[in-house]
Amino acid sequence: MNEERRWTDADILSRVDHTLLAQTATWDEIRELCDDAVKYGTASVCIPPCFVREAREYVGDRMKICTVIGFPNGYAASTVKAFETREALKDGADEIDMVISIGRVKEGHYDAVLQEIRDIKAVCGGHILKVIVETCLLTDEEKIHLCKIVTDAGADYIKTSTGFSTGGATFEDVALFAEHVGPGVKIKAAGGISSMADAEKFIELGADRLGTSRIVRLVKEEA
């Protein structure tokens, strides 16, 4: 079966942010997530901010650590998101996935959204910033507008979803992002990616990262 595929397991795993963001997540589960991420060569682990310091001490420099800011609703004040980001980086995070204010988008206050992303990127400095726009709550027009906002703000990625709302990543949204993001902005598909075939298709449509808890599990089951 692998011979018929365009992407190997290793290719796909290298694009996975191995994720555990459940409210009930414990340190033992996060530690197991880190062990699997190191073993299978994922791009990072994506974990709650409260575990970043422990995870950094545990994995050292063996694995990139990603965490979430303003998660999952995005309606914290920008100053709060900036503080969360500083603390996460201080604790050892390598990458930041922030949630925008969907209400500001619905109001058409794109300047506020742009400024918030710029502010968080300034805090991130050279660290990767991914901007979660929660596509399931947006119109196509809003998604296209946000592609420009994320590009103009200097963020590194536009990300589809938190996985905590009414829907996750879709092929249509990733294709739309690929058509409209500016140079240098990459795409992260997240939420509901449950098969290797789906993972391959998201990559082929333009996703550079996949936020998922299931791909590593699938590879482990095949072993």
Whether 36 sits among the annotated catalytic residues: the reply is no
**Active-site residue, selected from the candidate residues 143, 159, 186, 198:** 159
**Active-site residue, selected from the candidate residues 97, 156, 173, 198:** 97
Name residue, tokens 């073993």.
39
Give the bridge partners for 98, in sequence order: 69, 131
CATH of domain 7-222: 3.20.20.70
pLDDT tens digits for 153-204?
999 999 999 999 999 999 999 999 999 999 999 999 999 999 999 999 999 9
> Taken in order 140, 145, 146, 147, is the CA torsion positive or negative?
positive
pLDDT tens digits for 47-83?
999 999 999 999 999 999 999 999 999 999 999 999 9
Whether 97 sits among the annotated catalytic residues: the reply is yes
Q: Angle at CA 130, nearest 5°, toward 89 and 35?
A: 65
- Domain boundaries, given as residue ranges, for the chain: 7-222
pLDDT > 50? residue 2: no
Whether 188 sits among the annotated catalytic residues: the reply is yes
User: For the chain, give me the number of helices (H) and strands (E)?
Assistant: 10, 8
Question: Position 149: which residue type?
Answer: I
**0.85 surpassed by pTM:** yes
Strands 16-19 and 186-190: unpaired
Q: How far apart are the first and last CA of the chain?
A: 14
